[in-house]
Amino acid sequence: MKRVYNFSPGPSALPLPVLEKAAAEMCDANGAGQSVMEMSHRSKDFKPIIEKTESLLRELMGIPANYKVLFLQGGASLQFSMVPLNLAAGESGPGEKKAVFIETGIWAEKAAKEAAKFAHVDVRASSKDKAYTYIPQAPAAQPGDAYYHITLNNTIVGTKWAQIPDTGAAAAGGAIPLVSDISSCILSEPLNVAQFGILYAGSQKNLGPAGVTVVIIREDLIGHAPSKTPAMLRYDIHADEGSMYNTPPCYGIYVIGLVLEWLKNLGGVPAITKLNQEKAGLFYQYLDNSKLFYSPVEKPFRSLMNIPFIARVKDAEKRTELENRFVKEAAAAGLINLAGHRLVGGMRASIYNAMPLEGVQALIQFMQQFEKGVAH
């Protein structure tokens, strides 16, 4: 069997044991004599699957009892609309309070733009002035804020928040819910769920196949959507129906359960954090000592999951030509999906939980050989 090292930002690599178990159970899952793809979502066969998946997620993330876990569709991008609709919209337009955003990348920018359709948006800080290569200082929350939104890990530009903003005091006006997109960093290192009002993540990076969006929401934030909000965009309806208001993405939920089981057997979040730090540390060490490649991200804000890098070539046309050659030759060597995002160019290695240490080592070895070739 030939397997490549897949550095895609998403859909991304899945652990091989998960793929093998899913393949073995494709036609007969849990002795049911059928595939999960064939099961009724309301059947006695599927119920333990979704319950096990939720239970494992709660255990691995330490999710408090007063939070609901929802398995939805539409990707993290749909949450760009659902969050303001449920937390900051009024009956006939934007509500009185502001939706606060800290812009730290393209996805954060898109989230703020979408929220402006339903709420008064205040972009309180941004790192766009330096092409999003750092995380700006987080201004304080205010009593007139409906919620405070951050993108914890920025997939495209490769930055992450080193310190979570404290929105609890809000100038003595009461706690302001902190909301975060954690699509590309969920379960990659410890996270105190209780610091947040809502966490959401598309599954296709660190959890499973594309098609499932996990939403973790504190119960007191449910039930505030305007009456005309479409049913599929209301958190209360999904919570009341146990994520089964409509047919959920059953197979994706099943695979997420397998991934969570794999992670638990590995040693949980502490074990994967140690591995992720080792992988990222090796790669950043190579980049910091390379004469051909470098990381554009300021060191205190470097992501563990997504690592962009650029060739040290002043002429833009020659740099693009060299980077395209690199991506092509890397793919031929079994190191795929290393091109940077189409909006920023360059190159990027996404080294999510499922990427083994051997994959990062193979990439570094290839880059060292490529660098020698360019030097000569």
Q: Which residues are catalytic?
A: 107, 181, 205
Backbone angles phi, psi at 276, to 5 degrees: -65, -40
> What is the dihedral sign for C-alpha 55, 60, 64, 68?
negative
Q: Bridge-partner residues for 294, per DSSP?
A: 310
Q: Bridge-partner residues for 32, per DSSP?
A: none
Q: Which two tokens stand for residue 217?
A: 């929401």
> Taking CA 276 as the corner, what is the angle to CA 273 and CA 281, rounded to the nearest 5 degrees?
125
Burial profile 235-254: b = 16 or more Cβ within 10 angstroms, e = fewer: bbbbbeebbbbeebbbbbbb
Q: Which two tokens stand for residue 316?
A: 């833009």
Name the helix (H) or strand (E) containing 77: helix 75-87
Strand intervals (E) in the chain: 5-6, 67-72, 98-103, 120-126, 145-151, 153-154, 159-160, 178-181, 198-202, 213-218, 293-294, 306-311, 335-336, 347-350
